[in-house]
Structure 1
Amino acid sequence: MADSFLFNVAQSVLRKLGSLALQEFSLAWGLESDLEKIKDNLKVIKAVLLDAEQLRSQNPRIEVWLENLKEVLYDTEDVVDEFECEVLRRQVVKSGNTTRKVRRFFSRSNPLTFRFRMGHKLKQIRERVDEIAALKSKFGLTERIFDRNIIHGEREMTHSFIDASNVIGREQARDDIIETLLQSVDGENVSIIPIVGIGGIGKTTLAKLVYNDQRIATHFELKLWVCVSDVFELDKVIIKILDSASTGQRYTDMGIDQLQRTLRQALNGKKYLLILDDVWSEDPRKWGELKTLLMGGANGSKIVVTTRSQRVAEIMGTVSALNLSLLSHQHCLSLFFKCAFKGQQEKQNPNLKKIGEEIVRKCKGVPLAVITLGSLLYSVTDEREWEFIRDNEIWKLEQKEDDILAALRLSYEHLPSYLKRCFAYCSIFPKDYEMDDIELVYLWIANGLVQSSNENQELEDIGLRYFKELCSRCFFQDFFEYGGNVKCQMHDLIHDLALLVTQNECSMVRTSTQQIPKSVRHRSFPYPQSLPNDLPESLQNLDRVRTIWSINERHEGISSEVFIKKCVSRFQYMRVLDLTYSRFEVLPTSIGDLKHLKYLSLFGNGLIRRLPNSICKLQSLQVLLLGKCWSLEELPKDIKYMINLRFLWITTNQKYLPTGGIGCLKFLRFLVIGWCDNLEYLFEDMQGLKMLRRLFVCFCRSLTSLPQNIKCLMALETLCIHECENLDLIMEEGEENQYPTQFSLQKLELRNLPKLVEFPQWLIRGSTNSLKVMKVEGCRNLRELPECVQNMASLPEVQIKYCPQLNNNPIRKAGEN
């Protein structure tokens, strides 16, 4: 789109260059001239970026220019972030409760040295930006106003004809749609049925099958086929509908008023079927204007809409959308051999048939992918060429404009730029990886991909909105909920698309000899056990790495302490260091030098016993995952200085969590305390967590009570307490009223708490109007629920089960009634 990937990076950098902290430094140190020159040049460059992005495929020199610009933008971002890190460090040093020893601990360098070094870096950035700005005039680039209607590649207009004999496996879907179309709907003279799915899954093909079916021809007086595509402008769509309704007339010279009268006359009193194929616009106002004009048909008129967007389906549909399923493997095989051999020759060559079956598995049920690969092998009998197709990623194969990746790329081109960067980042995950919405959001936040223009907007909420937008546009699939989070996957072809659009951004390091472009800043290791003990030579010369990530479905992590030590010392600009399921005993003390680090996971490391206290120098750190670190003896004593933490997950062998630690993390939003078998008491200064939104306490078998000031967590929305067999939630006499409940929960879960006999009213005292989800499960000694809980039985997400002693279970009574 016009708001391109690089355009968004430039916007982000310009926003950072205007930060208050940087302005103060530049004025104090006399750097304002360099800073202003950088900003002015970047604004000029940004103005022509949209034009450059469209011309890059036609001019290799522009391609190189854009790559150089991207490197400069990222390096500028690193420099600006360094100033922000310094601000956070000074906040800790200047805080009133720090001793001289602590101030020495956090003093990284002499202020004069820092000033000189940063002034030199800023000057280098200015010189590089000057050079790039000077080059732009050689390409004849023009300034372009932000325009969402500019697409780098457009899909060809579709038509209604189809040879049904070439379609395999869609008979049931066709019959289901036709059954809906032939039904009359009370109260509506026109019904709208959306067909939704990823690009290439066969939405248009299915619409054509329906459109040309004899049952439809005899039922509807008028049939209309319109390919809407990306431009949903009222006059243009009306003209297309009228062109489909009649031949020989010209409508392009009509004004909008004459067009709307002509359309209403053409449809008036007629039972019609209108196919609106390939709809992209998510603007409800545009659809509302057109819908009003289409309501004049006879009762029983129907509109079928094909789209890749669940949001479009919600806006336009009057009945539930048909989410088109993937094609079965057997149907894919038939389609593949029909394309490659006209359905005959595979019987004569069993080797090709076997290779063909393996090729078809790569397509994961998407018909256009099957057709693309089958057509590539049309009349090819050389087994080596078949093996080449089998053994290579689809995105690396040469394709035509109407093949699968071109179709999928249109979905990417229609994304706003902020979603393009988020989607591209997903290419670091291996295929079939189960993504977690919260994990994904915090990875995006760590890399600066989630941006807020309003200080009242939570980054987590914006990130979750990004996630939902990508879900709505069919970039993710196979959703299920686990532990309160949404899990999902990317279809293999969508993953191939991510790899295609981010070749120079992200890279999976599969072998130690793999060559990696210097421009790659995000690296994942899907096979960490195959890595050498030392850092591979291909990574030795890279110093701008932002992500090291090593999760896989086998729960294997990086185990070499030498490898980790080299990563920590070499990659000083890292934002994400994910060592999940790693197996090493010592985290290097140099971890404290990673001042840009925002996301650190040691989740599932069962060997590490202690963390170096230097980890508390990571003032930029937003996420620290220490869950299931079974051997961890205690948390770092200076954890309170990790002032930017937003998500903390801990497993520790401590008996109690001291005050002056976690309770000082005032920006914490998510806290998970789990698998702490020895833990008897939580920290008593919990009231300091004024921004905490989700609290999970689970598998803490020795925990006996919660601190009474838990009721002071005024921002708390979700509270989940699971598998704490000695936990008594009843406050001591007098404590109930000492701290009034200040939170309004939206979700409450209590599971397998045998000490729970009376339901603690303080838990829901302020939540009777806000609570949306309540689950009480496996509390075998729970005897009675308060009246306010009984009144919640009508809520759709209230579950009370496996509580055999409960006398007044409202769910059970509702079932009996």
Structure 2
Amino acid sequence: MAELAIITVGKVIEKLGSVAYQEFGLIWGVKSDLRKLERTMSIIREVLFDAEKKQASDSLLRIWLGQLNDVLLDAEDLLDEIQYQALREQAVATYGSTSTKVRHSFSSSMKRAFPFKLAHKIKGIRERLDEIAAEKDQFNLTIIRGDAHIMRPLRDPTHSFVHPSTVIGRYKEKKKIINFLMHPDGSKNVDVISIVGLGGLGKTTLAKWVYNDERVVGLFQLRLWVCVSEDFSVTRLIKEILKSACDTIDDNWNVDTLQTKLREVLRDTKFLLVLDDVWNEDRNKWIELKDLLIDGFEGSKIIVTTRSKLVASVMSTDFTYNLQGLSQHDCLSLFVKCAFKEGADEQHPNLLKIAKQIVGKCKGVPLAVRTLGSLLFSKVDEREWEFIRDNEIWKLEQKESDILPALRLSYSQLPIHLKRCFAYCSLFPKDYVFNSYLLIQSWMTHGLILETSTNKKLDLEDVGDLYINELVSRSFFQDAEGDYPSLPIYFFKMHDLIHDLAISVAQGECSVVDSDNKEIARTVRHLSFSVEDLGQEVPKCLDKLTKVRTVMSTKALESLPVSLVEACILKFKYLRFLDLSESYFEVLPSSIGTLKHLRYLDLSCNRRITELPNSICKLHNLQKLRLTRCTRLKWLPNDIRNMISLTYLGVTINSRCLLNNGFLNSLQFLLVSNCPSLQVLFQGMDGCLPNLRTLVIARCARLTSLALIMNHLTGLEDLIIYECENLSLTEGEDNQDLKLSLRNLQIINLRKLVVLPLWIQVSANTLQHLHIEDCKNFTALPEWLPTSNSLHTLKIINCPMFSSLPEWTDNLTPVRKFQPSGYFELIRKCQPEYPPKITRVIDLELDEDEDTWSTSAQENGSQATSTGA
């Protein structure tokens, strides 16, 4: 509770003290009220760091903090309303009113009424805050200075793509399980083995160790791994097994086709299937699945990992291994590995003694040991180790099998900004595969990523990467990996118990709407929907909610009910993050225009929607709009220029022209992809995109020329063109007044490219990276290129008509593992919509025997892109 209050009060005080809000207050006659609000908040902030330390053991203090959080968030919403009003007036002043005179008159009356409503709301918040401030003295809170709004320096970031740690202990367990795998029962084709144990004991790790053992690899023709978790849908599991066996399946297959394909794949094949993390206690569901698996070759095996002995019984296992905790010796070895640099434990014998005492409290659970060890990594102050050993959290009442106190202790030691980001992850289901890019975007939308005190020039996306790295290093995230280590997009998971911890600390703030349809606290501000079929009725658990800021779906719903979309838009006027991707409604409600606070709107992959209501243009706060893969979308609204905060637009459109006189002054990134009818990007666009930095055009088959727009994109730095078969870059290139300053130019699979256009020469002194790939007719590099003083990297890949390099390239040094500054940021922004080839990382080598370039290409494939989409 206190963590959220500390961050929110810092942001509100900063806004109230800014010149902009002081001017707003002066204009609307509320400057004095805003200053009084700022003073009260400053007084409360002084004791919040002490409240953070004491909240775990004081239930009344937690209630007080909950009330404080509520009013602080309301204050933040109020300041956002002030910002929205200012942006609205700016839009009208810049572009004029597009409404009728009657509407304009009504708008004017609303404008006159705004100061009165504003003063009334400020008064209400001040009164509530004054009452809360008066109650703080009963908790004997002391003043502790601190600045939560500036991020504390993190330890050196670890590499995100960690390899699984060497398993400590479990040799006997592994031997017994492998022994059973190698000796079939003989009475039936398929045997079932269960590994049963408490959460965090390492059941999955043991299963992986067995699964990858050389003897096991050689024993089975087919090995399959499926993460089951709480959703034991037989249809879903059939799909997952087929994906593990065949990589891809046809989404149009019905259930009957799926079961037929599964039986064909497994028939007469000796297979090993691991069903990891099973919770299902319904025997009928298991029998339905097992009937499809029993035709495997004699000696086939199924390994099940579960916390429940009842699950093992329901699945009629032939061999059950009850996993116990690690020995004290093994636990200490694991702790030392996590807490000390190699060999450093011998230099700190006193710390080793304390380590033995800490390990004893972890009850042999590797997850608890690893988490606390990671927390103390490289710390040599004995007082810090003793604080962990003697912490009051260990004394809290707990069940015999409950290890959450150990994990909560690790959570309590997180910096405040990481606590809020971690709690937000409770919105996602167990075993969810996180996409780093999308998670960072959601954190940014809610202001959870703060500037660093050490390097204020870092983009917030880069700071978000540091956050994830830190959470990985502390064992809050695991299995972090990417298809290629150099990519900035990566994927990771949370252990079930860590997920339980996130739910525990996010209570009252985040909630998941699932099939249980349980009652949700009024204070909840972040919602995710995690059910496959919601029906047409709006869940009753939403009735009491009004202040929700996040609505997302964590599963691809076959049909997101329009009634639910409308209900969320009408009820939740403070939404900042609205993810309706993968939905299939045809009409976006016009009430979308009432969401004054909305920053992020995702409508991507909706293949039914045909148009957007013009009311969407009232979203003056909107920063990111994703419309990619909306294949039936006919056009963008005429008044899109009123979205004056929009910095990112990704769009698929079924129209001849993308924008008609669409002045998007704030737009910095534009992605146009999969537009089969697009012939012209912009019409009447003089000065329409003054701040555009990145333009990505992909798979627009009828687009023929960019000549008319290049003169207007004076701020363009990155230009990427991919698979536009009729696009000619040289058409109409007689314009001599171009003012381009390109840094990155990437041209991939452009059939009409023979030579580079003359207009690129304008960027001779700024071009850093030139990448030409799969251009079958490309023949030669321009003669002006050697005069470029800025060129760092030259890539020419799979261009058969380009047979040799000019002599002047002898002075260029090939760059191995292309990793230029700014390139990763570009890839990150393109993800997850952009086609997979753009995320290639290629080693370039100069063939010593021939005067030609040879390439060794290692590409990430399509999985990273499709997963994120």
> TM exceeds 0.5?
yes
Q: Which moved more, 1:351-360 or 1:106-115?
A: 351-360
1:486 equivalenced with 2:486 (yes/no): no
The Cα shift of 1:506 comes to: 1.7
In the alignment, which of 173, 179, 193 is matched to residue 334 of structure 1? 173
Q: Are the counterparts in 2 of residues 673 and 697 from structure 1 also a CA contact under 8 Å?
A: yes
- Contact 1:512/1:537, CA 8 A, preserved across alignment: no
Partner of 1:503: 507
> Matches of 2:26 and 2:629 in 1, distance apart?
47
The one-letter amino acid paired with 1:507 is: S
Find out whether 1:464 has 2:462 as its counterpart: yes
Match of 2:49 in 1: 50
Deviations 1:154-176 (A, max 9, x none): xxxxxxxxxxxxxxxxxxxxxxx
User: Partner residue of 1:673?
Assistant: 672
1:30–1:540 Cα change, 3 Å:
same
- Whole-angstrom distance in 2 between the partners of 1:801 and 1:479: 23
Rounded to whole Å, the distance in 2 between the matches of 1:385 and 1:52 is 43
Aligned length: 616
TM-score (norm 1): 0.67
1:351-373 Cα offsets, whole Å, 9 max, x none, are: 99726179679864399xxxxx9
CA distance in 1, matches of 2:754, 2:161: 47
CA offset at residue 719 of structure 1?
A: 2.1
**Could you say which residue in structure 2 is the equivalent of 1:230?**
none
What SS does the aligned partner of 1:691 have? coil
Conservation of the 8 A alpha-carbon contact between 1:695 and 1:720: yes
Matched, 1:760 2:752: no
Q: Distance in 1 between matches of 2:732 and 2:848?
A: 37
Change (3 A) 1:363 1:98: farther
SS of alignment partner, residue 738 of structure 1: coil
Cα drift, residue 668 of structure 1: 1.0
Distance 2:790 2:414 in 1: 39
Closer, same or farther: CA 589–761 of 1 in aligned 2, 3 Å: same
Measured against aligned partners, the alpha-carbon deviations of 1:718-766 in whole angstroms (never above 9, x if no partner) come to 322111100111142422x221323333xx3221111111123534753
Answer yes or no: is the 8 Å Cα contact 1:602–1:625 preserved in 2: yes
The counterpart of 1:325, out of the listed 155, 164, 167, is 164
Same amino acid, percent of matched pairs: 37
CA deviation profile, 1:794-815 (whole Å, cap 9, x unmatched): 9996542221111235778812
Residue equivalent to 2:682:
683
| 1:612 is the counterpart of 2:610 | no
Root mean square deviation, CA, Å: 4.4
Match of 2:72 in 1: 73
In structure 1, what is the Cα distance between the partners aligned to 2:619 and 2:470? 36
Looking at structure 1, the residues matched to 510 and 54 of structure 2 have their Cα atoms a distance apart, in angstroms, of 23
Deviation of 1:591 after TM superposition, in Å, equals: 0.9
Over 3 Å counting, the alpha-carbon distance change for 1:60 and 1:497 in structure 2 is closer
2:772: which partner in 1?
776
Distance change >3 Å, CA 581–CA 68, structure 1 → 2: same
C-alpha offsets along residues 755-782 of structure 1, whole Å, 9 cap, x if unaligned? 111123534753666525x432211111
Report the secondary structure of 1:107's partner residue.
Answer: helix
Any residues of structure 2 matched to 1:287-436 within 5 Å, and which?
311=157, 325-326=164-165, 331=170, 334=173, 354=194, 356=196, 364-365=204-205, 383=309, 409=408, 412-436=411-435
Report how far residue 429 of structure 1 moved. 3.0
Matches within 5 A, 1:587-602: 587-602=588-603
Q: CA–CA distance in 2 between the matches of 1:576 and 1:382? A: 37
1:548 aligns with 2:387: no
Q: Which amino acid aligns with 1:365?
A: T
Aligned partners of 2:307 and 2:504: how far apart in 1? Answer: 29
What corresponds to 1:638 in structure 2? 639
Q: Where does structure 1 lack aligned partners over 5 or more consecutive residues?
A: 149-280, 284-308, 315-320, 339-350, 368-372, 374-379
Residues of 2 paired with 1:429 and 1:797: CA distance?
40
Is 1:625 aligned to residue 657 of structure 2? no
Cα–Cα, structure 1 residues 383 and 451, in superposed 2: closer, same or farther, change >3 Å? closer
1:142 corresponding residue in structure 2: 142
Cα distance 1:328–1:482, how it changes in 2: closer, same or farther (>3 A)?
Answer: closer
- For 1:107 and 1:718, the matched residues in 2 are separated by 40
Which amino acid is 1:537 matched to?
K
Distance 2:4 2:399 in 1: 24
Alignment match, 2:846:
814
Q: Does 2:135 match 1:131?
A: no
Contact residue 51 and residue 141 of structure 1 kept, 8 A: yes
Counterpart in 1 of 2:5? 6
> 1:580-610 CA deviation, whole Å, 9 max, x = no partner?
0100111111111111111111101111111
Match of 2:118 in 1: 118
- Letter of the 1:479 counterpart: G
Q: Which residue of 1 aligns with 2:734?
A: 734
What residue is the counterpart of 1:377 in the other structure? Answer: none
Do the aligned partners of residues 733 and 647 (structure 1) sit closer, same or farther apart at CA in structure 2, a change above 3 Å counting? closer
> Could you list the per-position Cα deviations for residues 186-229 of structure 1 after superposition, in whole angstroms to 9, with x for gaps in the alignment?
xxxxxxxxxxxxxxxxxxxxxxxxxxxxxxxxxxxxxxxxxxxx
Partners of 2:847 and 2:758 lie apart in 1 by 25
The SS at the match of 2:771 is strand
> How far apart, in 2, do the equivalents of 1:656 and 1:382 lie?
59
Residues 237-248 of structure 1 correspond to what in structure 2 (within 5 A)? Answer: none
| CA pair 399-643 structure 1, distance change in 2 beyond 3 A | same
Q: Which residue of 1 aligns with 2:796?
A: 800
Match of residue 36 from structure 1: 35
Q: 2-side partners of 1:9 and 1:463: how far apart?
A: 20
Give the deviation of 1:115 after TM superposition. 2.5
Which secondary structure state, in structure 2, belongs to the residue aligned with residue 110 of structure 1? helix
Cα distance in 2 for partners of 1:40, 1:329 equals 55
Do structure 1's residue 573 and structure 2's residue 574 form an aligned pair? yes
User: Is residue 525–residue 549 contact of structure 1 (8 Å, CA) maintained in 2?
Assistant: yes
> How many angstroms does 1:630 deviate by?
0.8
* Alpha carbons of structure 1 residues 537 and 591: separation in structure 2 relative to 1, 3 Å: same
Secondary structure, aligned partner of 2:60? helix
Does 2:531 match 1:531?
A: no
**Alignment partner, residue 651 of structure 1:** 652
Report the CA distance between 1:93 and its aligned residue.
1.9
Partner deviation per Cα, 1:224-251 (whole Å, 9 max, x = no partner): xxxxxxxxxxxxxxxxxxxxxxxxxxxx
What stretches of structure 2 of length at least 5 have no aligned partner? 178-190, 208-276, 278-305, 315-321, 324-366, 369-395, 815-843, 850-869
SS of 1:530's partner is coil
Flag the 1:357–1:108 CA change in 2: closer, same or farther, 3 A.
farther
Q: Indicate conservation of the 8 Å contact 1:656/1:683, yes or no.
A: yes
The change in CA–CA distance for 1:618 and 1:497 in structure 2 (over 3 A counts) is same
SS at match of 1:657: strand
Aligned to 1:346: none
Alpha-carbon deviations, 1:244-286, whole Å to 9, x = none? xxxxxxxxxxxxxxxxxxxxxxxxxxxxxxxxxxxxx978xxx
Check the 8 A contact 1:785/1:808 in 2, yes or no.
Answer: no
Question: What is the CA-CA distance between 1:68 and the residue it aligns to?
Answer: 1.0
Distance between the aligned counterparts of 2:790 and 2:170, measured in 1?
45
Aligned to 2:796, the other structure's residue is in SS state strand
Q: Which amino acid aligns with 2:493?
A: M
| C-alpha distance in structure 1 between counterparts of 2:534 and 2:108, whole Å | 33
Q: Is the 8 A contact 1:693 1:716 kept in 2?
A: yes
Amino acid corresponding to residue 119 of structure 2 in structure 1: G
Cα separation, 1, equivalents of 2:172 and 2:37: 57
| Deviation digits for residues 634-659 of structure 1 (CA, Å, limit 9, x no counterpart) | 11111111111011111111112344
Residues 1:722 and 1:382: Cα distance change in structure 2 (over 3 Å): closer
TM-score of the pair, normalised by structure 2:
0.63
Which residue type is aligned with residue 42 of structure 1? M
- Which amino acid letter does the alignment assign opposite residue 804 of structure 2? N
Q: CA 1:520 to 1:729, structure 2 compared with 1: closer, same or farther past 3 Å? A: same
> Does residue 684 of structure 2 align to residue 694 of structure 1?
no
Contact 2:161 2:482 in 1 (8 A): no
Q: Separation in 2 of the partners of 1:521 and 1:754?
A: 50
Match of 2:518 in 1: 514
